[in-house]
Structure 1
Amino acid sequence: MNHFKPDITQMISPFLLLFIIHATQIGEGILSFERQIASIAGYDSWISIILTGVLTTFIVVIIWKIVGEEQTDFMAIHQYIFGNILGRLLTFLFSLYLFAVSMIVLVSYIEIIQIWFFPEMSIHFFMFILLMLVLYISLGGFRIVAGFAFFSVFVTGFLAILKYKAFTDGHVNNLLPVFNTPPKDIILAMEPMSLSLLGIELILIYAPFIHRFQSGLKWAVSSNIFTTFVYFFSAIAIFMYYNEQHIQFISWPTLQLWKVINFPIIERFEYVGISLHLIAIIATSCLYFWASMQCFYRLTSFSFRKISIFFALIGISSVHFIHNFLIIEKITLALTRIGMILLFVYVPLLYICHKLASGVKKKHANK
């Protein structure tokens, strides 16, 4: 198997996985996921959050077993199992998926800016500004991307704490009765919840950039558990503050909650919250964008810089076709389903195929 070995100056400590994975999973979805899961499983959907967290933790362990001691990456694994042509094709498709997620994260945030701040603002102009920032960070290398992700976690942590208002003004009776939802609906609510916990698949791309990768499993599992807790905490807060009928008509429950927070020098805190959340959006988009460009870089003979600039231009042009909320919802739903198949079906199958291929090749090598 051909192993990709990055320069030691681009490698990071396994401890930073605690921040990188969390930053990947906390994006625009943290502002609206409560409505999506509650519309399917009601206020018992907190169970769906826990189940999704357990399932994604299991996938993290599988990913560690796939990467193994060799510390290989997604492209090398594909070529090892499926051969050069099919392996490169599968990596190419995976790269397109990562690029699409990176773009939809930015477009979803721009939609919030348009609705809450500047209704007449040009989406092309704002997309250009955000993508230039994503491009600039990504071209700095994986350490810069990881450093920005590290910083973003403190911002999202601060914003999560500010949901305390829901616990002081909310009603715990909203959560009752518990276990009143059919198990089928709880399982179905895991689909929109899975979008929020996607991001662990990127480990297959940046595994070679983690120094002493095998020792990072505990940090990766801890990060996924921490993210699950953040979503669980957020859901309970919102469910206590809004009743089950009311939340169906609120696109971004967290932003509505922030409207009631008052500080002596800040009257409209939701404006501050939306602005600070930009850091989390950029961190998430950067990680997906860098991972996508890394795959394309490995597949072609072009430089990382040229590939990144080319796809940044494609990203700016693509917003011409995404001009309303319904299109964004459809694209997000499609990416959610692709992500679920990739994470919960393809990754386990990849592990099985990797084991079988390793066994067959070792058997032939011993003859």
Structure 2
Amino acid sequence: MSKYSFNQISLKQYIFIIFETQVGIGILSLPRDLAKTAGTDGWISIVLGWLLSVLLSLVIIKIMEKNPEYTLFELLSKYFGKWVGKSLSVLWILYAAYAASVVMFSTIHIVKVWIAPDIWDFILMILFIIPIYMMTKQGIRVIGLFAELVFLISLWMPFLLLFLLKNIEWLYLLPIAKEGLFPILSTVKSTLLSFLGFELAFILYPFLKDKKSASKGIVIANSLSMITFLMVTVISFVKFSPEEIKDYAYPTLNLLKLIRLPFLERLEITFLSFYLFILFMTIIPYIYTAVLGASQLSGKQDHRNTLRILMCLWIFLSFFFHPSFSQVSQMGKSWGMAGLYFAAVFPLLLWMYGWLFHLARKEQKQ
């Protein structure tokens, strides 16, 4: 019997966790970021970024297939020994905690700008921490159930884009590759960062009930993210002019301001209120990764004490750290650079090392 048999997630939950982690914060500013570097050809970079994320995801699954009962932190100790393994685990814990912190402070910033500019940061922090703590402390099984719920209550959101399919200018997309291939290829790195979240397969795989479908599941999750990114980006490109879109910090929310419904004003506020659940589902898997790693490193079964310490640290920081848009953007960029190493470089190196590790073990047995 698997040691995680009482804390497993279904394939559907596995897909939703990865998908919701990916679309979270990045989709709000993605059209602007792409327009700045690749113009209206940025949608091509999304497809290329999807291809890279799928390939890297499959590398992660290949690594975990050889060690199905190990989390990443246990695997690192197995491959590299106690001290090197623990050092690498600490880096992963810091990365996951920083990713969660970036999304948390970015969420507070967005809510203050768009909904409640006069509210104190620490009040928002406390309000947001309550559901995040309640979900994370219960473990991966409850997080999986919450991911299903979030998917169901957000199904109506893509249909809002249908209201924008009038008075649009498709000619903004033409000619394709008007600036050449270099801007498109140079933007692929940015789009790959938008797909961050697939690296959590390192953590989710041991808890997955149907491990044989892990590859299929992660391809579906990445593909759902690509479709979502493409829909939002293309509609932004044909609704706003190529120069106008660069003036908006969060073009996705600016799109919603253009929708007029007879029974509802300020649709972007309603949207953002529901979208908070998706943002929470970006924070929760990363924070769970951090506290799970810390508990496994210290040899404890219960991760709740570590979680409480981190929550208290967030509340303490919110009293004096009030990031501006430029600071939030800089934090996002630094997370992206770290993500490039942890989600792209690290899996490739670990896959090659693991291949040599298992090869050496086979030779020793012979």
TM-score above 0.5, yes or no:
yes
Instruction: Specify the alignment match of 1:353 in structure 2.
Output: 353
Q: Secondary structure at the match of 2:166?
A: helix
Structural mapping, 1:118-133, within 5 Å: 118-133=116-131
Name whichever of 32-41 and 75-84 sits farther off: 75-84
- Residues 86-128 of structure 1, C-alpha deviations (whole Å, 9 max, x = no match): 1111111111111111121121111111111221211111112
How far 1:183 moved relative to its partner?
2.3
Instruction: Specify the alignment match of 2:256 in structure 1.
Output: 258
Aligned mates of 2:188, 2:315 — CA distance in 1: 32
Instruction: Specify the alignment match of 1:8 in structure 2.
Output: 5
Query: Given that residues 43 and 234 in structure 2 are in contact (C-alpha distance below 8 angstroms), is that contact kept between their aligned partners in structure 1?
Result: yes
How far 1:69 moved relative to its partner?
4.7
- Residues 142-201 of structure 1, C-alpha deviations (whole Å, 9 max, x = no match): 111111112222344421221123322211011111111232221222233223210011
Instruction: Specify the alignment match of 2:328 in structure 1.
Output: 328
Name whichever of 347-356 and 216-225 sits farther off: 216-225
2:292 to 291, 294, 310: 294
Q: Given residue 315 of structure 1, which amino acid in structure 2 is its aligned partner?
A: W
Query: Given that residues 71 and 203 in structure 2 are in contact (C-alpha distance below 8 angstroms), is that contact kept between their aligned partners in structure 1?
Result: yes
Aligned mates of 2:297, 2:207 — CA distance in 1: 18
Instruction: Specify the alignment match of 2:52 in structure 1.
Output: 55
- Residues 186-221 of structure 1, C-alpha deviations (whole Å, 9 max, x = no match): 122223322321001111012111113122321221
- 2:40 corresponds to 1:39: no
- 2:95 corresponds to 1:90: no
Structural mapping, 1:20-169, within 5 Å: 20-71=17-68, 72-169=70-167
How far 1:14 moved relative to its partner?
2.2
Aligned mates of 1:140, 1:42 — CA distance in 2: 44
Runs of 4+ with >6 A deviation: none
Aligned mates of 1:318, 1:57 — CA distance in 2: 36
Query: Given that residues 14 and 204 in structure 2 are in contact (C-alpha distance below 8 angstroms), is that contact kept between their aligned partners in structure 1?
Result: no
Unaligned runs of 5+ in 2: none
- Residues 5-58 of structure 1, C-alpha deviations (whole Å, 9 max, x = no match): 544221122232221211111112111111011100101011110000001011
Aligned mates of 1:281, 1:173 — CA distance in 2: 33
Relative to 1, partners in 2 of residues 1:249 and 1:140: Cα closer, same or farther, differing over 3 Å?
Answer: same
- Residues 251-296 of structure 1, C-alpha deviations (whole Å, 9 max, x = no match): 1111111112222321221111111101101111111111111111
Instruction: Specify the alignment match of 2:194 in structure 1.
Output: 196
- 2:336 corresponds to 1:339: no
Instruction: Specify the alignment match of 2:217 in structure 1.
Output: 219
How far 1:313 moved relative to its partner?
1.2
Unaligned runs of 5+ in 1: none
Query: Given that residues 6 and 209 in structure 1 are in contact (C-alpha distance below 8 angstroms), is that contact kept between their aligned partners in structure 2?
Result: no
Q: Given residue 215 of structure 1, which amino acid in structure 2 is its aligned partner?
A: S
Aligned mates of 1:37, 1:317 — CA distance in 2: 35
TM-score (norm 2): 0.95
| Identity fraction in percent | 25
How far 1:70 moved relative to its partner?
3.5
Aligned mates of 1:301, 1:124 — CA distance in 2: 33
Instruction: Specify the alignment match of 1:305 in structure 2.
Output: 304
Aligned mates of 2:330, 2:317 — CA distance in 1: 15
Aligned mates of 1:323, 1:210 — CA distance in 2: 37
Instruction: Specify the alignment match of 2:15 in structure 1.
Output: 18
Query: Given that residues 191 and 337 in structure 1 are in contact (C-alpha distance below 8 angstroms), is that contact kept between their aligned partners in structure 2?
Result: no
Aligned mates of 2:116, 2:162 — CA distance in 1: 28
Aligned mates of 1:113, 1:168 — CA distance in 2: 29
Query: Given that residues 322 and 328 in structure 1 are in contact (C-alpha distance below 8 angstroms), is that contact kept between their aligned partners in structure 2?
Result: no
Aligned mates of 2:358, 2:4 — CA distance in 1: 27
Matched positions, count? 363
Instruction: Specify the alignment match of 2:173 in structure 1.
Output: 175
Query: Given that residues 105 and 323 in structure 2 are in contact (C-alpha distance below 8 angstroms), is that contact kept between their aligned partners in structure 1?
Result: no
Query: Given that residues 75 and 91 in structure 1 are in contact (C-alpha distance below 8 angstroms), is that contact kept between their aligned partners in structure 2?
Result: yes
Relative to 1, partners in 2 of residues 1:67 and 1:7: Cα closer, same or farther, differing over 3 Å?
Answer: closer
Query: Given that residues 109 and 323 in structure 2 are in contact (C-alpha distance below 8 angstroms), is that contact kept between their aligned partners in structure 1?
Result: no
Query: Given that residues 44 and 175 in structure 1 are in contact (C-alpha distance below 8 angstroms), is that contact kept between their aligned partners in structure 2?
Result: yes
Name whichever of 302-311 and 243-252 sits farther off: 302-311
